[in-house]
């Protein structure tokens, strides 16, 4: 089952389908002829009831973490709608069916804004685990202060110790995340871009990889789960994320002190690459062999080296500062 998202609209899917009722006469829907059959066979839908078939109601679980109304789904729906359509009041505890299938953001979203959304720990909402009062510790003059350990991403043992209910953040642990751009006005080799981020985007960075890139550095393809080495870019990012999260209030600032300047530099260089590539392609009709790989591989290598430096800083802090 698929439903077309209108041009200039955003659709927010948090591990749950947003499709409800199916208009079989509309060209906006694609479906197999027997899409109702499993629901009828298992008793999830009775045609004799006279009720219209509801795709999500029939096939989504009624309860549990992956039900449409669960807090795992609710927090992400609320945060994203609130962020990109802020003029509307979004009740964080409203029935999730009240959210639209798709909607037009108040303004076009930049790549940077999408990165920030993907990095979210649900800050500014009732679902932020970082803001749970269990993190408050006594300070001077009996004031309560947020613990240096307070994080939007506490592990299971910490949540159980502090009795913090799990709220699934947007930037959950993941193998990778990505943002794609399709720009028909540019040559195909540079018109398609994959902004790729290994591990959790909250701690990682996004690297632009043109569709025409034919190769990447070995350090971006040599990850082995059972063998740690900083020669692997993914291991460097994984370790940086783990170290930063261990003492989050300080660690994230240390990480950002190197990552944020890198990202500004990447954005500036990417704009220049686009301009240069478009000019060369216009003048010559093609891009020289290796032109794309030189820039993409150079940036991937720079990201790897930066995260090695981040790891060194975080290890120094954990060893020198945290043990005293």
Over residues 198-229, the pLDDT tens digits come to 999 999 999 999 999 999 999 999 999 999 99
Q: 181 with 316, same domain?
A: yes
User: So what's the pLDDT on residue 69?
Assistant: 86
Sign of CA dihedral 20, 24, 25, 31: positive
Percent of the chain with pLDDT over 90: 89
Last residue of a domain, one of 67, 82, 116: 116
Does 82 reside within a domain? Answer: yes
Domain hosting 9: range is: 2-116
Residues 107 and 16 in one domain: yes
Of 84, 100, 116, the one marking the end of a domain is 116
Which string of DSSP letters, residue by residue, matches 194-263?
EEEEES-TTTS--EEEETT-----GGGT--BTTB--TTSHHHHHHHHHHHHHHTHHHHHHHHHHHHHHHH
Domain membership flag for residue 147? no
pLDDT at position 22, please? 96
If one counts every other C-beta atom within 10 angstroms of the C-beta of residue 285, the result is 8
Same domain (yes/no): 96, 221: no
Separation CA 82–CA 183 (nearest Å): 28
Cα-based distances in Å from 110 to 5, 12, 189: 18, 16, 21
The tens place of each residue's pLDDT in the chain, 324 residues long, gives: 999 999 999 999 998 899 999 999 999 999 999 999 999 999 999 999 999 999 999 999 888 888 888 888 999 999 999 999 999 999 999 989 899 999 999 999 999 999 999 999 999 999 999 999 999 999 888 899 999 999 999 999 999 999 999 999 999 889 999 999 999 999 999 999 999 999 999 999 999 999 999 999 999 999 999 999 999 999 999 999 999 999 999 999 999 999 999 999 999 999 999 999 999 988 998 899 999 999 999 999 999 999 999 999 999 999 887 655
How far is 240 from 243, CA to CA, in rounded Å?
5
Domain co-membership, 265 together with 192? yes
Are 189 and 316 within one domain? yes
Domain match, 199 and 66 both = no
Sequence-distant (6+) residues with CB within 8 A of 254 are 244, 310, 313, 314, 317
Beta strands in 120-206 (DSSP E): 136-138, 144-146, 176-182, 192-198
Local structure of residue 124 (DSSP, 8 states): T
- Same domain? For 185 and 63 the reply is no
Residue 285 domain-assigned? yes
Q: Which has the closest alpha carbon to 213: 123, 287, 308?
A: 287
pLDDT at 323: 57
Asked if 195 and 301 sit in the same domain, the reply is: yes
* 107 and 230 together in one domain: no
The reply to whether 134 falls in a domain is no
Sheet holding 176-182, edge to edge: 176-182, 192-198, 207-210
Q: Name the domain boundary from 96, 116, 136.
A: 116
Q: Both ends of the chain: CA-CA distance in Å?
A: 58
Cβ of 157: how many Cβ atoms within 10 Å?
8
Give how many domains the chain has, as a whole number.
2
Identify whether residues 72 and 183 lie together within a single domain.
no
Q: Is 102 contained in some domain? A: yes
Q: Which helix (H) or strand (E) holds 297?
A: helix 291-316
What pLDDT is recorded for position 149?
96
Residue 152 lies in a domain: no
Query: What is the DSSP secondary structure assignment for residue 53, as one 8-state letter?
Result: P
- Residue 259: count other Cβ atoms within 10 Å of its Cβ: 20
> CA gyration radius for the chain?
23
Does the residue 10 lie in any domain? yes
Co-location of 106 and 196 in the same domain: no
Please tell me the distance from the alpha carbon of residue 90 to that of residue 210, in angstroms, as a whole number: 37
Angle made by CA atoms 55, 56, 57, in degrees to the nearest 5: 95
Residue 135 placed within a domain: no
Compute the distance between CA of residue 250 and CA of residue 252 in angstroms, rounded to an integer.
Answer: 6
Long-range contacts of 51-58 (CB under 8 A, 24+ apart): 52/21, 53/21, 53/22, 54/20, 54/21, 55/1, 55/17, 55/19, 55/20, 55/21, 55/22, 56/16, 56/17, 56/18, 56/19, 56/20, 57/20
Which of 228, 190, 194, 229 lies closest to 208 in space, CA to CA? 194
């Amino acid at each position: 089952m698929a439903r077309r998202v209108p041009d200039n609209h955003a659709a927010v899917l948090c591990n749950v389908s947003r499709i409800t009722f199916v208009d079989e006469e509309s060209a906006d829907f694609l479906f197999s002829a027997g899409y109702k059959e499993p629901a009828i066979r298992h008793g999830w839908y009775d045609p004799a009831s006279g009720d219209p078939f509801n795709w999500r109601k029939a096939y989504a679980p009624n309860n549990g973490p992956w039900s449409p109304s669960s807090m795992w789904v609710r927090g992400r729906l609320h945060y994203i709608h609130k962020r990109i359509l802020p003029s509307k009041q979004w009740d964080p505890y409203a029935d999730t069916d009240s959210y639209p299938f798709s909607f037009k953001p108040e303004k076009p979203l930049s790549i940077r804004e999408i990165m920030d959304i993907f990095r979210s720990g649900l800050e500014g909402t009732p679902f932020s685990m970082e803001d749970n009062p269990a993190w408050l510790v006594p300070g001077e003059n009996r004031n309560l202060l947020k613990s240096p350990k307070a994080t939007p991403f506490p592990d299971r043992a910490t949540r159980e110790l502090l009795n913090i209910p799990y709220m699934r953040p947007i930037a959950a642990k993941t193998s990778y995340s990505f943002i794609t751009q399709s720009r028909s006005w540019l040559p195909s080799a540079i018109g398609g871009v994959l902004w790729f981020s290994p591990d959790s985007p909250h701690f990682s960075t996004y690297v632009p990889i043109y569709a025409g890139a034919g190769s990447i550095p070995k350090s971006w393809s040599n990850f082995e789960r059972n063998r740690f080495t900083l020669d692997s870019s993914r291991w460097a990012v994984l370790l940086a994320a783990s170290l930063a999260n261990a003492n989050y209030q300080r660690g994230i600032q240390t990480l950002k002190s190197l990552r944020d300047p890198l990202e500004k530099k990447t954005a500036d260089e990417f704009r220049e690459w686009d301009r240069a590539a478009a000019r060369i392609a216009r003048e010559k009709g093609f891009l020289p062999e290796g032109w794309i790989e030189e820039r993409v591989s150079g940036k991937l290598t720079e990201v790897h080296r930066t995260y090695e430096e981040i790891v060194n800083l975080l290890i120094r802090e954990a060893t020198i500062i945290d043990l005293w």
